[in-house]
Structure 1
Amino acid sequence: MTRYTMDALLRGLGVALILGAWSAAPAHALTLKTETVHRPSSTRVFPGDGPGAKAANSFCLMCHSAGMVMTQPDLSKSTWLAEVNKMKHVMKAPIPEDQVPVIAEYLYSIKGRK
């Protein structure tokens, strides 16, 4: 998720919580505090220049560092596909449907159990 998307999500969640708490409890029962989230930054990208590397760099780096992905165990092709589908459907990563198999195949090519 990009920093902008995460900030917008957190602001929206904050508004929802405030509105929900305001309608459900007296104002004196509500205490808000500021939280700061620091994500590690990196300039490392996925290797290669083919469609899989481009898709992984476009969509995976929104939430993950390339280093984090590259330290994962080698997985089978079907397991990488399941992982990318989980990111799209469960974690709601904005990966276009046609890029799911492209990313999974690419991850298998660099981190696959052959």
Structure 2
Amino acid sequence: MCRTSRIGGALFACALAFAAAMPVTGHAQGNPPAVPATFAFKSPNVDLPNGDRMFTGAGSDAINNNCLACHSAGMVLNQPPLSKAAWDAEVHKMIQVYKAPVNADDIPAIVAYLAANKGTK
């Protein structure tokens, strides 16, 4: 028998003996760990911002009826100012990429509102 086989066999025998000598824990026998008697769940209180804000002013009906289904008014109004062409591209991206259910007749009014209120100066 070659020396490599004897070393491999000896290592296997040592590993087997080591594994057999390992203590068996309660988890392996199906006994869950005991839960401390003093444990108590705590419910945090979270105050969220009011989400009923709507767009105001001329042309706001189109954006309120179409955009608030997915976006808050605050989120839209906190976007950086964009050109009218960029807002038009954003509105069309929402429709084509994200399948936003925007009424096609409202697209010009939405773009005009965004350009007037969040457009580049």
Q: Which has the higher helix share?
A: 1
Of 71, 75, 81, the residue aligned with 1:68 is 75
Give the alignment's Cα RMSD to 1 decimal: 1.4
Aligned to 2:11: none
Aligned letter for 1:72?
Q
Superposition map of 1:1-114 within 5 A: 42-48=51-57, 50=58, 52-114=59-121
TM-score between the two structures when normalised by the length of structure 1: 0.60
CA gap 1:71/1:65 in 2 versus in 1, 3 angstroms: same
Q: Percent identity?
A: 53
List gaps (5 residues or longer) in structure 1.
1-39
Which stretches of structure 1, 4 residues or longer, exceed 3 Å deviation after superposition? none
**Distance across 1 between alignment mates of 2:94 and 2:120:** 20
Aligned letter for 2:52?
T
TM-score between the two structures when normalised by the length of structure 2: 0.57
Which structure exhibits the higher relative contact order, with contacts defined as CA atoms closer than 8 Å and separated by 6 or more residues?
1
**Distance across 2 between alignment mates of 1:111 and 1:61:** 16
